[in-house]
Chains A and B, each alone.
Chain A
Amino acid sequence: MKKLIKQSILFIAICLFVIKGLLFWENSLISKNANFQLPSTTENVLFGHSHSECAFNDSLITNFKNLSNSGESYFYILPKVKNIVSQNPQIKNVFIEFTNNQITTNMDNWIWGEKLMSSRLALHSPFMNSEDHFVLIKNNPTEYFNSLSVSFNKKFTRIWDADYDFTDEMGAYKKLTICKVDSILEAKKNNDSINQSYSQFSTTNITYLKKIIEYCQSNNKNIFLVRSPQHKKYSGIQNENIFDSIREKEFASIPFLDFNDFELDKEDYADLEHLNFKGANKFSRWFNVYFKNDLH
């Protein structure tokens, strides 16, 4: 019996070693060849989640690239920022979406939740360090193991296809054509409950925002926190007091461009938290002028 146990442990150890080796090989090959180069005219980049993804139409803003991605937390934005900044020395300004829902515990689900971890890990794991991996293992070991497998497979396909271009996978402006504000407000009338998760905040996500800021500052980039326009009735604003206190306590030295109260019509919203293309065009044209006037 001891022989069986010894042999099994040896076999599992060899397999784990081989898998670890293959993962290391994949990661080093991808990180060595990865291309994050943006057009040389791009001097301003924006990172964030779906709010900024739908609000900033970068075709209307000079030398600006919207790299926001739906459902992306600061945890996964950090490796993205590192690669973009390191491969694009022409970048001068980095804008980071900082809004009410990004401090909530929902962000923890965006980091290690079942739904998002596998796709994010497949994309960003070659650029994550052991500390980042530990955060995931610690909080959701089962899903981490599954995501590692998905990521192993996807990275292998990437290497097989010699596809090292990440520029089209980093995020972009998303054009929404819908307008559901009326129906949402109607539904809210009947069910206007307070979401408890708004009163609790994600320390992990906030920690990673600090890391992004530190990295940008150490690379002499101007950094701005940005809040995209949100509808007045958006329930995420419930945590405004906590949001303000965190911003003042943790990020007081970082300029905060708050467009929460930006004047828009009902028809400019896709829903209460996202602009549709009409709203995005209005806002982006205005932002372009505002930015050219040195944010005045």
Chain B
Amino acid sequence: MIFNSLEFALFLPIVFILYWFVTQRNLKTQNWLIVTASYFFYGWWDWRFLSLIAFSSVVDYLIGLRLSKEETSQIKKKTLLWTSICINLGFLGFFKYYNFFAESFSDAFTFLGYSIDPTRLNIILPVGISFYTFQTLSYTIDVYRKKLKPTKDLGVFLAFVSFFPQLVAGPIERATNLLPQFTIKRIFNYSSSVDGLRQILWGLFKKVVIADSCAEYANIIFENYESLSGSTLFLGAVFFAFQIYGDFSGYSDIAIGTARLFGFRLMKNFAFPYFSRDIAEFWRKWHISLSTWFRDYLYIPLGGSKGSRFKQIRNIFIIFIVSGFWHGANWTFIAWGALNAVYFLPLLLLNKNRKNLDNAASSKFLPSFQEFISIGITFFLTTIAWVFFRAESLPKAIDYVSEIFSSSIVSLPEIRPLNLITLLGVFIFFEWIGRHNEYGIEKLGLNWKKPIRWILYGVLSVIIFSQLGNEQPFIYFQF
């Protein structure tokens, strides 16, 4: 089930009513309702893969319990932790990376003069596997590190792993943040719920209007890149930059807003990343739940920014390349990660990676000239990197970028959708004025009279309706 579907529009109010009117008196029943609704939500896509989530959850639940026992020795605890890691990453590796590794090994052997025929498997990638795997892993690791007490309540744990708003595309929640919320009674809060609805509306606008409209042109340009000028290709990359932002941050907004309707607080996943003044700031503001996951469970255990320069550089490359690889089993994602590491490196070496910790134009409406240029450069670098993310293969990505840097960049683009460019201008304006908030329209119109505010929401709703038919699949579902 996807958020911008009629099925979800029926599913959400039914679960909401059951949650607050039928099961609100008993926490356990309420949690089991969440589990049932979440499994139904996931099973709507493919019920066969429910067994994967269930198995993964039960294994981590049992391991968590064993890890907390005083009598369990340190060696046994380590073995249990690695069992959890191997099972979870094993599933992920099999479903997501098997064919990639088989083909890459075959290519490597062919390169060395030995021809082997890899056995390709016709595997369907279970939607959301990368997300819930990381979420459940965070639980086991945190319990092992004694940052978190394991839950004895299976319903709580299953609800934590499968919580439907963020099950298939995040935010990847930490057990330390989300799990305790299932153990306390949720109290309905009107203003928080209204805020959640507003965030859902803005998320739908970003997804349905911005991302899907950009996708239409980005797809045309990327599919016909060989015959188009550098300026058009750059425009195509810009459209893809907004497509992926609108798509993924829109999904996150809907997920966070939906969770708020049920009394949960999910972590912020995007913080207006395209207004970043350097790549380090961009990565603090883009897909925050994944970046911080890698920071806490990979980068810091590797030594982080401590140690020799070589180690620091190595760690940066590892985290960015692994992050790229997390997105998909293709060399394009690895190249995308590596390119971002290259962007990041000068900041690390010059100790400037924590220079911009606030927002651009933090106390003013407009950015300074220097900030404006920094934002432009960062956006340009990010956009070039997105070409690798979007392209079907590495050679195609290199061709695409080469054409952008050719003399045809100064020509007038062959494809100039003025309506879309105007729409993006309006969107950037709304995002800019809301950049200090949780999401673009969080505070917009709160002081206005209700009918005027409702006109704003109504206009957004009508625009969303008008674009619903051009539905494109959520990009991050494939990860």
| Complex-state Cα separation, A153 to B5, whole angstroms | 18
B468 touches A146 (CB 8 A): yes
| Complex-state Cα separation, A4 to B192, whole angstroms | 11
Residues of A within 8 A of B188 (CB): 1
B20 touches A1 (CB 8 A): yes
Nearest residue, chain A, Cβ from B24: A1
| Complex-state Cα separation, A142 to B9, whole angstroms | 11
| Complex-state Cα separation, A11 to B466, whole angstroms | 17
CB of A161 to closest CB in B, whole Å:
12
| Chain-A contact segment, one of B58-66, B250-258, B264-272, B455-463 | B455-463
B469 touches A146 (CB 8 A): yes
CB of B190 to closest CB in A, whole Å:
6
Residues of A within 8 A of B20 (CB): 1
CB of B250 to closest CB in A, whole Å:
17
| Chain-B contact segment, one of A14-22, A63-71, A278-286 | A14-22
B458 partner, pick from A4, A15, A146, A150, beta carbons under 8 A: A15
A149 touches B458 (CB 8 A): no
Nearest residue, chain A, Cβ from B460: A15
A152 touches B471 (CB 8 A): no
B466 touches A152 (CB 8 A): yes
Q: Does A255 touch B at the CB level, under 8 Å?
A: no
Q: Does B470 touch A at the CB level, under 8 Å?
A: yes
Q: Does B68 touch A at the CB level, under 8 Å?
A: no
B462 touches A149 (CB 8 A): no
| Complex-state Cα separation, A141 to B5, whole angstroms | 11
Residues of A within 8 A of B197 (CB): 8
Q: A1-B20, A141-B6 are in contact. Are A149 and B190 (CB under 8 A)?
A: no
CB of A156 to closest CB in B, whole Å:
7
Taken residue by residue from 344 to 368, chain B's Cβ proximity to chain A (1 for < 8 Å, 0 otherwise) reads as 0000000000000000000000000
State the interface size on chain B (CB cutoff 8 A): 21
A11 touches B469 (CB 8 A): no
| Complex-state Cα separation, A7 to B197, whole angstroms | 11
Residues of B within 8 A of A15 (CB): 458, 461-462, 465
B469 touches A150 (CB 8 A): yes
Residues of B within 8 A of A14 (CB): 454, 458
Nearest residue, chain A, Cβ from B4: A146
Q: A11-B457, A14-B458, A22-B462 are in contact. Are A142 and B469 (CB under 8 A)?
A: no
Nearest residue, chain A, Cβ from B459: A18
Taken residue by residue from 183 to 206, chain A's Cβ proximity to chain B (1 for < 8 Å, 0 otherwise) reads as 000000000000000000000000
A150 touches B194 (CB 8 A): no
Q: A146-B469, A147-B469, A150-B470 are in contact. Are A18 and B462 (CB under 8 A)?
A: yes
B6 touches A149 (CB 8 A): no
Nearest residue, chain A, Cβ from B470: A150
B468 touches A145 (CB 8 A): yes
| Complex-state Cα separation, A76 to B468, whole angstroms | 23
B5 partner, pick from A11, A22, A142, A150, beta carbons under 8 A: A142
Residues of B within 8 A of A237 (CB): none
| Complex-state Cα separation, A153 to B464, whole angstroms | 11
CB of B125 to closest CB in A, whole Å:
23
| Complex-state Cα separation, A231 to B243, whole angstroms | 48
Which residues of chain B from 423 to 479 have a CB within 8 Å of any chain A CB? 454, 457-458, 461-462, 465-471
7 extra interchain contacts, Cβ-Cβ under 8 A, other than A15-B461, A145-B6?
A: A8-B197, A22-B462, A141-B6, A147-B469, A149-B467, A149-B468, A153-B467
Interfacial residues, chain B to chain A (CB-CB below 8 A):
5-7, 20, 188, 190, 193-194, 197, 454, 457-458, 461-462, 465-471
Interfacial residues, chain A to chain B (CB-CB below 8 A):
1, 3-4, 7-8, 11, 14-15, 18-19, 22, 118, 141-142, 145-153, 156
Q: 11 pairs across A/B with beta carbons < 8 Å?
A: A4-B190, A11-B454, A11-B457, A14-B458, A15-B462, A18-B462, A142-B6, A142-B7, A147-B469, A152-B465, A153-B467
